[in-house]
Structure 1
């Protein structure tokens, strides 16, 4: 859940941080999760990517719809492919302290849809473009 959902008064949107904007209930998988299970998780929860984390929460990659579609196009059996085989290793990530303006620039410059949020290398949230727009709108209400 986003902290911005609890805003009771207007705030300068430029002061918002990733911690306030991110979703902290993150659906994730492990490097050993098979691609068919990932596909099922993503389609049933209507999400476009899944962070891949070790048991201790360390982010090791991200699997996107693109990765899954590419495996399908290549004729690979999604039941026999592991996340570690199709994930993008070392994905772009952000920290909780970064501001809305910094993140908006990152999203636009890198053509990103969503990014994992890390604290000391551990996954603590996910931030999507939609979260930026939601937070900006909530903070801007009555702001002048």
Structure 2
């Protein structure tokens, strides 16, 4: 199916483990120009994510140092997709959950990640990305950290 997430997801994803600290995560974000880093266990199971917002809200504003453990700032509640889901399904899920990045899991392992930008740069998927972004931007209420 040409319209699946597998065709647009980023597969070369930088990850961290619970052995890393917040400073190391921030450096990976800077060095790879990303706003999210999945947290994986030793079998590559995605057990959480750290976003740039997590670092600011739970780290800096929470008065935690850069040497704080990953698990002190990571988001453990994961919203994930699969490589075989359609771009439309992913866009709707991202809009509904008000997230801009979606970890993609296959056979229990992290397979990649899809960001709103991935949807937006594909001309044929621009409508789905626009819909999701407008839903994320317009909805009010509790803000999600992911």
Q: Shorter chain as normaliser: what TM range?
A: 0.7 to 0.9
1 or 2 for the larger relative contact order (CA 8 Å, sep ≥6)?
A: 1
Asked which structure has the greater CA Rg, the reply is 1
Residues paired across the two proteins, number: 125
Which residue, 8, 14, 27 being the options, matches 1:27? 14
Structure 2, unaligned runs of 5 or more: 127-146
User: CA-to-partner distance for each residue in 1:91-131, whole Å, 9 max, x for gaps?
Assistant: 10100110011111111111111111111110010101111
Runs of 5+ unmatched residues, structure 1: 1-13
Misfit runs of 4+, over 4 Å: none
Which residue of structure 2 lines up, in the alignment, with residue 77 of structure 1? 65
Please list, as runs of the form range in 1=range in 2, the aligned pairs for 1:110-121 lying within 5 A after superposition.
Answer: 110-121=97-108
Over the aligned positions, Cα root-mean-square deviation in angstroms equals 1.8
**1:17 to 2:4 alignment:** yes
Shift of 1:134: 2.2
Give the TM-score normalised by structure 2.
Answer: 0.80
